[in-house]
């Protein structure tokens, strides 16, 4: 039992879990500060300091997940710690389950930023999870205490939303063969009923970061990070872009099924991938791809504030110095199509690659190039032929 003077800052989302946890913490004797992320304060830093590094990295976990929740946790944790220090609170609490990734992300971030902080994780406390074995018991508790929650027995899935994405888990989604209900999605419309006319956008990058977006259909332009990102969310959502339904490997060791909507992030992933390939040396990009893979794993697993993640961010940012230019994309029926690109740092030499102009290239040189590369293959298969002959004898 906490003393009355003990103060806890709760990462409060307004969902079923944290709404019930707020009341439960008060029952335990804590003075609770419900921490909410204020849009005008935190969203801009979320875009500029968390989403933009992920865009530069082409961060993608297990080839599909754009890390919407994973990127938000260190941003929220940073403010949680700040509020706790300002309010003299010794404790921070969260509503992450004992089986998921978010408990790791929140707590590693908080401990890195404030080693003396103490974390209360109700879903790992027997007195809590034995009282509330599942979401049904939480809903009954909420009803008993008059707690308004957005979850109903007919739609019991767990949702986590931020500026970048929304995720859906639990309930009927826990069976991987079940198709998600059509009314589940909230950030994107059904691609089959989306507009029959695409939106065409010009997205300008500097150092791998989007700095301007223009809709060529109506001339609408946005330059600030937050306005640009919100606008891309609107356009992508209108055309049903950014939906995925995946089974992924959680850091704690189990597979989970998640459904995600990441509208703007999906557009920017494709656009940045294109301008990077256009402006970056081939061998540098191979190394950078390896760094991006490691960066994505670190972010997913909650190590944003680790020395290795800090090092990788510096390396990736260095690789983006020449990643500048404009990519034209079409957004239509759930897809993002690349239409063209241009850059002052382009490594594309039209004359060199042309099939109509020889340029500064001697075709005869390719003969030696092919012969040298064929040497290894010839020797390998010569040896294999000898081995096969001996085995047949």
319-365: pLDDT as tens digits: 999 999 999 999 999 999 999 999 999 998 887 777 777 777 888 99
CA separation for the pair 317, 209 (Å, rounded): 10
Query: Which two tokens mark 117?
Result: 């902080």
Q: Kindly indicate the confidence band of residue 153, based on its pLDDT and cuts at 50, 70 and 90.
A: low
**Catalytic-labelled residue, pool 17, 160, 199, 274:** 17
17 classed as catalytic: yes
* Lowest mean per-residue pLDDT among 92-96, 210-214, 352-356: 352-356
250 classed as catalytic: no
Q: Of all helices (H) and strands (E), which one includes residue 20?
A: helix 16-27
Counting residues of the chain whose pLDDT is more than 90, the rounded percentage is 79
64 classed as catalytic: no
131 classed as catalytic: no
Q: Kindly indicate the confidence band of residue 15, based on its pLDDT and cuts at 50, 70 and 90.
A: confident
C-alpha count within 13 angstroms, C-beta hemisphere, residue 180:
21
**Catalytic-labelled residue, pool 13, 19, 109, 158:** 158
**Catalytic-labelled residue, pool 73, 243, 257, 328:** 73
Average pLDDT over residues 79-93: 94
Question: CB neighbours of 245 closer than 8 A, spacing ≥ 6?
Answer: 180, 257, 258, 259
**Catalytic-labelled residue, pool 102, 160, 199, 274:** 102
Q: Is the pLDDT of residue 41 over 80?
A: no
């Amino acid at each position: 039992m906490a003393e009355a003077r003990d103060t806890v800052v709760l990462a409060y989302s307004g969902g079923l879990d944290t709404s019930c946890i707020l009341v439960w913490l008060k029952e335990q004797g804590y003075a609770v500060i419900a921490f909410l992320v204020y849009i005008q304060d935190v969203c801009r830093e979320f875009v500029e300091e968390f989403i933009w590094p992920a865009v530069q990295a082409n961060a993608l976990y297990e080839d599909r997940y754009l890390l919407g929740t994973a990127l938000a946790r260190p941003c929220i944790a940073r403010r949680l710690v700040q509020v706790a220090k300002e309010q003299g609170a010794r404790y921070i609490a969260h509503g992450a389950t004992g089986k998921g990734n978010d408990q790791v992300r929140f707590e590693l971030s908080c401990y890195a930023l404030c080693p003396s902080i103490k974390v209360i994780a109700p879903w790992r406390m027997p007195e809590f999870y034995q009282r509330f074995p599942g979401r049904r018991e939480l809903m009954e508790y909420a009803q008993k205490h008059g707690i308004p929650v957005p979850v109903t027995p007919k739609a019991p899935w767990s949702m986590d939303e931020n500026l970048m994405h929304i995720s859906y888990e639990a309930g009927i989604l826990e069976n991987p063969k079940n198709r998600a209900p059509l009314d589940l999605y909230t950030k994107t419309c059904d691609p089959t009923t989306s507009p029959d006319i695409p939106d065409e956008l010009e997205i300008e990058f500097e150092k791998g970061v989007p700095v301007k977006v223009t809709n060529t259909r109506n001339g609408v332009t946005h330059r600030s990070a937050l306005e640009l990102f919100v606008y891309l969310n609107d356009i992508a959502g209108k055309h049903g872009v950014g939906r995925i339904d995946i089974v992924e490997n959680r850091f704690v060791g189990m597979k989970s099924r998640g459904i995600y909507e990441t509208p703007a992030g999906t557009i920017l992933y494709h656009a940045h991938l294109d301008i990077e390939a256009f402006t970056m040396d081939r061998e540098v990009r191979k190394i950078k791809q390896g760094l991006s893979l490691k960066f994505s794993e670190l972010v997913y697993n909650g190590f944003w504030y680790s020395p290795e993640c800090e090092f990788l961010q510096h390396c990736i940012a260095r690789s983006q110095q020449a990643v500048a230019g404009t990519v034209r994309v079409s957004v239509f029926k759930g897809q993002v199509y690349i239409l063209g690109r241009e850059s002052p740092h382009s490594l594309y030499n039209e004359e060199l690659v042309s099939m109509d102009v020889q340029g500064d290239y001697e075709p005869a040189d390719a003969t030696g190039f092919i012969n040298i590369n064929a040497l290894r293959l010839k020797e390998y298969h010569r040896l294999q032929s000898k081995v096969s002959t001996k085995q047949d004898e």
